[in-house]
Chains A and B, each alone.
Chain A
Amino acid sequence: DAGVTQSPTHLIKTRGQQVTLRCSPKSGHDTVSWYQQALGQGPQFIFQYYEEEERQRGNFPDRFSGHQFPNYSSELNVNALLLGDSALYLCASSLAGAGRTDTQYFGPGTRLTVL
């Protein structure tokens, strides 16, 4: 049973560039959430996708956008990169409708460095 996978593992960009990160959820899961983890901090919720729509969004600017595909995989796009966007980006998958038994499972993350 494949877990959550993310690509790429590492990425180096310069300020002002755009980046796309990818996530494939755990088999059987239909919901994908994205988190940003700055160095030494806990993960912060960016947004969540279900049925190819953004269902909930955290306190992140519009430069952060996403997409979910029919196979439930997802992309996170960040435009006009800033130095402060350097972080570990984590994808988590879960199953909608599982209620209180639902659990989010995380991928290994993509380390983004903005120079």
Chain B
Amino acid sequence: GDSVTQMEGPVTLSEEACLTINCTYTATGYPSLFWYVQYPGEGLQLLLKATKADDKGSNKGFEATYRKETTSFHLEKGSVQVSDSAVYFCALRKYGGATNKLIFGTGTLLAVQP
């Protein structure tokens, strides 16, 4: 079945370091891909999305490119801040018919130290 695999955390970085969180997916058809972020004690917030191959989603300095050839959607940021500390979830969603749910990875905890 469809699935999402994320790199395990925690990822610990110093402020201003570069971030990459790996995400790969398995799915038939052409899913849309998402990154959601969850701050401590809160629900999920949409960070960015891409709906087709080669699309790049970006928001708040984060970006991810939909790579169909490698079935990947890695999250990147050039310079992280302490305020970026959170859990990041990669997810896919297919459309059409009765398939309309988000499938999430297990999440990657990012801890940024000052």
Q: Which positions in A face B, CB cutoff 8 Å?
A: 4, 6, 33, 35, 40-45, 48, 55-56, 58, 88, 90, 92, 99-109
Contact = CB atoms under 8 A, between A and B. Distances in A.
Interface of B: 4, 32, 34, 36, 42-46, 49, 51-52, 89, 91, 93, 95, 98-107
A59 B102 CA distance: 14
A108 B42 contact: yes
Nearest to A4: B43
A109 to B, nearest CB: 5
Given A42-B4, A43-B102, A103-B49, 9 more contacts: A6-B43, A55-B98, A56-B98, A92-B44, A92-B102, A100-B32, A100-B52, A102-B95, A106-B43
Nearest to B97: A56
